[in-house]
């Protein structure tokens, strides 16, 4: 690595780019989110981001080790925003539900960015803060460590996995205006009842439900499971 990246905290000199803007990790990540929204999940390129920042593409390598490193920073930003829009109440079940929805919503607020990042563990500070919070809620509810870790694992993986999946269709819909509901109606509703009796019988219900996320339902299932464990540990 000929050009070692300087940590944001240790950054001293702030030299403006040719177009006048002064860069920072924060500004770069924010601009990357905008570029992703405008150009789709595959539209974030070093050249395009450089142009959006008014800087040479290679300048990015002064702030991130590569596009992959930048991608993880974007993911951490979404995690951070999820935690910002959440406050503890003391009711573990309500808190966990709210946190799950906050994570899901934070990623879905930037579907194109979520597609890139949601299926990756970043190991960055704000993701770790979320993990700490979840474990705190579960242990605070009275679950034994082993059980808390199990529920935590299912919770975070489920939240991220659904965020990635749901963001995928959302981003796709916005990129190519195919209309997902239309796809369901056009593809699935046309299947003959002889070969696909079950799809044919439920085509209308499918078309109405599939464009929406199954995450809320999965989240409630997880909360039910956790509640059962909490009740058992209480006796």
- Contacts of 209-215 with C-beta under 8 Å, sequence gap 24+, read 210/180, 210/181, 210/184, 211/169, 211/180, 211/181, 211/184, 213/104, 213/108, 213/162, 213/166, 214/162, 215/100, 215/104, 215/158, 215/159, 215/162, 215/163, 215/166
Cα angle vertex 181, ends 200, 120, to 5°? 110
Binding to a second copy, residues 97-136 (CB under 8 A): 115, 119-121, 123, 128, 131-132, 135-136
Which of the choices DNA, a second copy, none does residue 61 contact, using the CB cut-off of 5 to 8 A by kind? DNA
Residue 142: Cβ within 10 Å count: 14
Task: Tell me the C-alpha distance between 136 and 4, whole Å.
Answer: 37
Task: Tell me the C-alpha distance between 233 and 235, whole Å.
Answer: 6
- Exactly one of 29, 36, 63, 118 binds DNA (CB under 7 A); which one? 63
Would you call 82 exposed, middle or buried from its count of C-beta atoms within 10 A (0-12, 13-18, 19+)?
buried
Does residue 18 belong to the site contacting DNA (CB under 7 A)? Answer: yes
Which of the choices a second copy, DNA, none does residue 157 contact, using the CB cut-off of 5 to 8 A by kind? a second copy
Phi first, then psi: give them for residue 91, nearest 5 degrees.
-85, 110
Which of the choices a second copy, DNA, none does residue 145 contact, using the CB cut-off of 5 to 8 A by kind? a second copy
Binding to a second copy, residues 176-235 (CB under 8 A): 183, 187-188, 191, 196-199, 201-202, 205-206, 209-210, 213-214, 217-218, 221-222, 224-225
Closest distance between DNA and the C-beta of residue 83, in Å?
28
Does residue 34 belong to the site contacting DNA (CB under 7 A)? Answer: no
Task: Tell me the C-alpha distance between 231 and 129, whole Å.
Answer: 27
Nearer to a second copy among residue 51 and residue 210 (C-beta) = 210
Does residue 46 belong to the site contacting DNA (CB under 7 A)? Answer: yes
Does residue 91 belong to the site contacting a second copy (CB under 8 A)? Answer: no
Residue ranges binding DNA (CB under 7 A): 1-3, 6, 11-19, 22-23, 44-48, 54-59, 61-63, 66-68
Residue ranges binding a second copy (CB under 8 A): 115, 119-121, 123, 128, 131-132, 135-136, 139, 145-146, 148-150, 153-154, 157-158, 160-162, 164-165, 168-169, 172, 183, 187-188, 191, 196-199, 201-202, 205-206, 209-210, 213-214, 217-218, 221-222, 224-225
């Amino acid at each position: 690595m000929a050009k070692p990246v300087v940590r944001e905290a240790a950054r001293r000199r702030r030299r403006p780019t040719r177009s006048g803007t002064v860069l920072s990790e924060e500004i770069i990540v924010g601009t990357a989110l905008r570029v992703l929204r405008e150009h789709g999940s595959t539209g974030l390129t070093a050249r395009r981001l450089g142009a959006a920042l008014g800087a040479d593409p290679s300048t990015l390598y002064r702030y991130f080790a590569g596009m992959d490193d930048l991608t993880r920073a974007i993911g951490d930003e979404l995690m951070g925003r999820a935690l910002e829009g959440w406050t503890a109440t003391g009711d573990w079940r309500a808190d966990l539900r709210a946190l799950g929805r906050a994570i899901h919503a934070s990623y879905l607020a930037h579907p194109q960015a979520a597609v890139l990042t949601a299926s990756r563990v970043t190991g960055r500070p704000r993701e770790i803060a979320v993990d700490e919070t979840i474990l705190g809620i579960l242990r605070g509810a009275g679950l034994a460590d082993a059980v808390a870790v199990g529920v935590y694992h299912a919770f975070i993986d489920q939240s991220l996995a659904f965020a990635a999946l749901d963001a995928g269709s959302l981003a796709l819909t916005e990129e190519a205006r195919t209309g997902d509901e239309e796809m369901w109606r056009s593809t699935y509703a046309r299947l003959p009842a002889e070969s696909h009796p079950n799809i044919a019988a439920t085509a209308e219900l499918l078309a109405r439900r599939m464009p929406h996320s199954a995450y809320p339902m999965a989240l409630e299932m997880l909360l039910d499971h956790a509640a059962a464990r909490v009740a058992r540990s209480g006796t």
